[in-house]
Amino acid sequence: MKADKPVLAGLPCDELTQALAPLPRYRSIQILKWIARGTQTFDEMSNLPLTVRAELNERFRVRSCAPGTSVTGPDGTVKLRISLEDGVTVEAVLLSDDKNRKTACLSTQAGCPAGCVFCKTGAMGFLRNLSSAEIVEQFLLLRETGGEISNIVIMGMGEPLLNLDELRRALSVIRDPGGLGLSKRRITVSTCGISEGIIDLADKGPDVRLAVSLTTADEGLRERLMPISRGQKLGAIKDALAYFQKSGGGRVTLEAVLLGGINTRQRDAQALADFSRGLDVVVNLIPWNSFENPPAFTPALREPERGETADFKNRLESLGMKVTCRLRRGSGISGACGQLGGTEH
């Protein structure tokens, strides 16, 4: 298999039709369906003539990624290490809830440029953006590993809105009724607050659920915890979210990674409430998932005590906020929020 052959797995139907020319459009529709089913070779596409299969083998590849090791945690979480063609490795996660519904957590970058001190991926630094095929193939490989998937969260390695063009192409494949066919209600994109990307998402789509990893609405503290926020001020983020909602976007989830004794004070709750005023939001509290050798920070990072999380939730609710707490899944295999990146590359 030659690496210089184009890969079809990440091409939306219109691009697939262009790539396959002079084959007619109905062939691209057939091939998109085969890719969505998980077919890995053209020879398996039984409704294509043998001559067409031979031509496709000469010109293209179906996929580019190779599955590496997978590990399953006691709560059913699966973490899959995926090898890319250039030797870089990324991780994707399959989460199961109490009703055995499965959610794929996909990565959009190898490493991450955001540099959040509470995130293992941020400590890796940034390697490169992933292609649309590399994003779609994570979903396909997770499904082959763990079974049917009902939801997708773009919350893995990387900042999605800094790779929005490739993410947009991948989600076009994922949402296509002739492809994977997931509805907008089942797809959530999480950003650390790239205001230009939020506006771009509002203007050009795709129409998906949006989550913002805010963590704190204290500007100075946020800049220390999330270095990328030095160029993404809270006022600009709030304006972008207001624009997103005025443009037809629905309720936004504000994610707050709780760090014991750092962002769990009354004034932190008040700052979140002040930031949220005028927006349709729900706050999702995420107790920090620790990892080995986190970056130096004063005071030292620590997981919040259970009482701290409950108290902070009560403080927010007393200020009129809608609040949820994320169940801690995957931490036993370093597959929880903020723990991805224990890879060699």
Q: What is the mean pLDDT of residues 30-56?
A: 96
What gap in Å lies between CA 87 and CA 106, rounded to an integer? 19
Sorting pLDDT into bands at 50, 70 and 90, what band is 279?
Answer: very high
CATH topology of domain 66-333: TIM Barrel (3.20.20)
Contact call for residues 142 and 149 (beta carbons, < 8 A): yes
Q: Which residue is it, tokens 């890796």?
A: 124
Alpha-carbon distance of 260 to 288, in angstroms, equals 8
Higher pLDDT, 21 or 328: 21
Lowest mean pLDDT segment, chosen from 120-124, 155-159, 260-264: 120-124
pLDDT above 70 as % of the chain: 98
> 333 pLDDT exceeds 90?
no
- Chain segment 176-229, per-residue pLDDT in tens: 999 899 998 999 999 999 999 999 999 999 999 999 999 999 999 999 999 999
Give mean pLDDT, residues 272-292. Answer: 96
Q: What is the mean pLDDT of residues 300-311?
A: 94
**pLDDT tens, residue by residue, 101-113:** 999 999 999 999 9
Q: Over 80: is that where the pLDDT of 343 sits?
A: no
Q: Model confidence at 30, in pLDDT bands (50, 70, 90)?
A: very high
Active site residues: 91, 337
Is 289's pLDDT higher than 80? yes
Residue 58 confidence (pLDDT)? 96
User: What is d(CA 69, CA 71) in angstroms, rounded to the nearest whole number?
Assistant: 7
Looking at the chain, which residues constitute the CATH 3.20.20.70 domain(s)?
Answer: 66-333
Query: What integer pLDDT is reported at residue 21 of this predicted model?
Result: 94
Average predicted confidence (pLDDT) for the chain: 94
What's the pLDDT at 1? Answer: 43
Measure the CA–CA gap between 291 and 95, rounded to whole angstroms. 19
The larger pLDDT score, comparing residue 110 to residue 330, is at 110
Does residue 219 contact residue 275 with C-beta atoms inside 8 Å?
Answer: no
- What mean pLDDT comes out for the span 243-266? 97
How far, in Å, are 108, 248, 301, 305 from residue 260 at the CA level? 29, 36, 7, 7
